[in-house]
Amino acid sequence: MVAIVGAKTYGKKIENMLLNKDISAEFIGDSFRKIDNNKIQNHNIVHFIFSPTVTPIGIISLMKMKRKHKKIIITWIGTDVLWAKTKFFKTILAKFGNNLVDLNLCVSPNLKKELEEIKIKVKLQSLPVFSLYEIRPVSNYNKVLVYLPDKLEYMWDFFQGNIIKKLVKEFPEVEFIILGNSGKKFQEKNVKSIEWANNMEELYAQSKAVIRLPKHDGLSNTILEALSMGRTMITSNSSIPHCNEVTNYEEIKKILADTLEKPVLNNEGSKYVFKNYNLEKIIDELISIYNSLK
């Protein structure tokens, strides 16, 4: 029924959840360049996680699929929206490629608004997140969790690493756990950098606050996981409620200081996440969308 192409973390999860419901599904790769056409033949719907319309090779792939009468669904997840909105050539590509798409989905209200500004009609629909955790009591540890990947050079600036660096120096009594990070830009003794963690639940549980400061955001598993456990979430450019939305260093510093002094359990954030991002609810909604395009 459904071939899934694009972001592997979401694609494999959708595949597994559909198969568990006895629905034909196959994740066929994360690259628009290496799509196995033989596998595509077995499915009448192709669901892209990350829009192929912002790249020439992606549009060529769509053209080939439409010639074979495939139904095309795109879920826009963040960076693709940023490109389509801010890069002139990619805006033109996205508008042209949209003629080949049967249904556009996006994962957050801010992305929906941005796509509609460039005349792309889109429906709000989440993807199944990595994990949700039971709410846990406020941590006794003086720890703060930070999402600051540095696998690619641009990420330091995109996730506002200079602000994190400043926080680390201003709060020497706090242990900062930096996720997805090699540690090459941190020499401070109160920093622990982790490139990959298998114990995320315990890391959230031991933290008084979680910080994520991208310059543009979509569906953040970090935010949803942290909220599910009732953690104070300090964010930028997110449309998820029950977070502390910040725009500058002084705001971040004040919220962090207040949280460290008097940490509170974010009960409303946890309730919101479990109500709106229930995995079964999301996969059932996707199945309904697939069935509507048969």
Tens of pLDDT, residues 116-150: 999 999 999 999 988 899 999 999 999 999 999 99
Position 289 scores a pLDDT of 97
Report the C-alpha gap between 163 and 213 in whole angstroms. 9
Answer for the pair 9, 35: CB distance below 8 angstroms, yes or no. no
Task: Determine contact, residues 40/3, Cβ cutoff 8 Å.
Answer: yes
Kindly indicate the confidence band of residue 35, based on its pLDDT and cuts at 50, 70 and 90: confident
Statement: residue 33 has pLDDT above 80: no
Nearest to residue 191, comparing CAs of 210, 172, 208?
172
- Is the Cβ–Cβ distance between 206 and 228 less than 8 Å? no
Mean pLDDT of 106-123: 95
* Residue indicated by tokens 């949209």: 98
Domains of the chain plus CATH, in order, are 2-127+278-292 (3.40.50.2000), 143-275 (3.40.50.2000)
The whole model's pTM is what?
0.89
Per-residue pLDDT, 46: 96
Task: Give the whole-angstrom CA distance, residue 14 versus residue 10.
Answer: 6
- Judged against a pLDDT cut of 80, whether residue 203 lies above it is answered with yes
Q: What is the mean pLDDT of the chain?
A: 94
How much is the pLDDT for 294?
76
Question: What is the mean predicted confidence (pLDDT) over 76-94?
Answer: 95
Q: Is residue 192 pLDDT above 90, yes or no? A: yes
- Cβ–Cβ < 8 Å for 189, 205: no
Q: What's the whole-number mean pLDDT along residues 75-101? A: 96
Question: What pLDDT, on a 0 to 100 scale, did the predictor assign at position 19?
Answer: 94
| Residue type at 35 in one-letter notation | I
